Amino acid sequence: TLTLALTTLTLTLTPSPFAHQPQPPSDGDDDDDGEEAELAEGNWLPLESNPEVLNGFATRVGLPKGWTFCDIYGVDKELLGMVPQPCAAVVLLFTSSKELKAFKDKQRKEIEEKGQELSKDLFYITQHDGIGNACGTIATIHAMANSTSLFKSEGVVKKFVEEWKGKTPSEIGYGLLKAKDIQEVSEDAAESKDAQTATPDREDNVNAHFIAFVNVGDVLYEMDGRKAFPINHGKTSEKSFLEDAAAVIKKNFFDVSPNGNFNMMALSKA
């Protein structure tokens, strides 16, 4: 196991670093747009939380040369200083827990009561039930599609974003179900020789989930396709983004679920 050194505590990363499609219904209100979408079972294989695996997938779907995923070993300043700059996005893998579920429910209620500002430039995908273990793929697309101030995605991600930009998150989520070109590359990456552990079966309930943090318009957003909406975490900048994202992750994940397993990766300039 890999130990993640933190400012105030030490957490051990999960020895089975796979993404998870949670079984309860999504927080997203799939019927809000008034359409009855027919859901085809996606049954995607989970991606391993491993830079080599994510890089293999991201490069094939349109991550431009010069950008790469790398490990983040902790949230203190010295460890964050090891991450190449600029950092375009942070991807977090965490194990589910009752503490995080309670925090998520409270967070949603507070935002629905108080409201929040969301950029019209966000590209946000709802992770529908039935797609399978797709959260690693969704987190990677969220990281790539929302980093346009630093680079422009190419290939199938560019095509997917252009086709679905302006649609609702729910519609985009259904669109991903039909994106067999993306699924094919994702599954090749899941079964890659770069994976350090055996790929779980499609039906396995792997108790971990991928999300992404991005900087859009100098605002830090949490992009979790299983939540009802992106989360606005306040002002940031290209220079402070990594430290700002790490602070939010520590406060809202590590501190909330101190016995949980976590893994972080940065999408950075190579």
Walk along the chain (270 residues) and give the pLDDT tens digit of each residue: 333 333 333 343 433 344 433 333 344 444 444 343 444 455 676 767 789 989 998 999 999 999 999 999 999 999 999 999 999 999 999 998 999 999 999 999 999 999 999 999 999 999 998 787 888 889 999 999 999 999 999 999 999 999 999 999 999 999 998 888 887 776 655 554 544 444 444 444 557 899 999 999 999 999 999 999 999 999 999 999 999 999 999 999 999 999 999 999 999 998
Q: What is the pLDDT of residue 190?
A: 56
Bridge-based pairing of strands 67-72 and 10-12 is unpaired
pTM: 0.82
Q: What is the pLDDT of residue 223?
A: 98
Closest CA to 37 of 45, 24, 28: 28
Which H helix or E strand runs over 222?
A: strand 219-223
Q: What is the pLDDT of residue 142?
A: 98
Q: What is the pLDDT of residue 124?
A: 98
Residue carrying the six token digits 């190449």 = 84
Q: Which residues are known catalytic residues?
A: 135, 209
Q: What is the pLDDT of residue 81?
A: 97
* Alpha carbon distance 125, 173 (integer Å): 5
- Exposed e or buried b for every residue in 139-167, given b needs 16+ CB within 10 A? bbbbbbbbbeebbebebbbbbbbeebeee
Contact in structure between 134 and 43 (CB atoms under 8 Å): no
